[in-house]
Amino acid sequence: MCGRFTLFSSPERLAELFDLAEPPQLAPRYNIAPTQPVAIVRADARTQTREWALVQWGLVPSWAKDPSMGSRLINARAETVAEKPSFRAAFKRRRCLIPADGFYEWQRTSKGKQPYFVHLRDGSPFAMAGLWEFWTGPDGSALESCTILTTEANELMAPLHNRMPVIVAPEDYQNWLTIDLDRERERASLLHHLLRPFPAEAMEAYPVSTYVNSPRNEGADCIAPLVC
């Protein structure tokens, strides 16, 4: 699954990867946790352009009575996302990309839980597949939120965990962001095809200190290789 990740790549590099006119205003983050604000890239159907947004991690369905439901909807299974009541509306036309340059997974061992930092071999930032949603409170307050899609683990991840976030290849960004399943239902299979495990050969993982365990620890020490 994906319960923590990082985003410390330069705004210029992110603007280039996501083909955005303006670099996003983002400070480096090494321990992004559920309920915190996360940067997303989404398409504006009106203007046919991409935009950045900061939304809360943990999807709050539009029909939720209060926002507390979000803390339990930080991930959505790719296999069932099109059918689940909490996600299906967003899957049709509110998909997004969630920029990251790595994520954490905790391996369960006889000695407890060992965190690992997982990243691309070449160190590039990448995009996780996400959904976003909007919610309006009884008092008119507005909230935007998101969730990260998961799929089965690839060969690299399998020893650590049975699930991993969906990583979208750059050539698939446009389809993921812009297909409208209300108007083009036949393209659902194309979208589902994108939600496959990323190639293990392009990824790498190494153990890190349990310093990362607490969401209060936000420094670069989170990704320091564990010295035994």
The catalytic residue positions are: 2, 105
In the complex, least distance from residue 70 CB atom to DNA, rounded to whole angstroms: 9
Applying CB under 7 A, the site for DNA has a residue count of: 38
In the complex, least distance from residue 157 CB atom to DNA, rounded to whole angstroms: 10
Taking CB under 7 A as the rule, does residue 214 contact DNA?
yes
182 vs 121: CA distance, rounded Å: 38
Distances (CA, A) of 45 to 60, 94, 213: 22, 10, 39
Query: 53-84 in b/e burial notation, b at 16+ Cβ within 10 A?
Result: eebbbbbbbeebeebebbeebbbbebeebbee
- Nearest CA among 198, 193, 114 for reference residue 155: 198
Taking CB under 7 A as the rule, does residue 77 contact DNA?
yes
Distances (CA, A) of 76 to 22, 90, 91, 138, 224: 30, 11, 10, 26, 29
Taking CB under 7 A as the rule, does residue 3 contact DNA?
yes
By CB under 7 A, the residues from 19 to 58 that bind DNA are 33-36, 58
By CB under 7 A, the residues from 141 to 200 that bind DNA are 150, 161-163
User: Tokens at residue 12, please?
Assistant: 């210029």
Residue ranges in the chain assigned as alpha helix (H)? 11-17, 88-93, 173-178, 188-194
Between 94 and 133, how does the x/- string for binding to DNA read (CB under 7 A)?
A: ------------x-x----x-x------------------
Indicate the residue among 4 and 95 with the shorter CB distance to DNA: 4
Taking CB under 7 A as the rule, does residue 93 contact DNA?
no
Indicate the residue among 64 and 146 with the shorter CB distance to DNA: 64
In the complex, least distance from residue 228 CB atom to DNA, rounded to whole angstroms: 19
Give contact residues for DNA (rule: CB under 7 A): 1, 3-4, 33-36, 58, 62-64, 68, 71-77, 80-81, 84-87, 106, 108, 113, 115, 150, 161-163, 210, 213-216
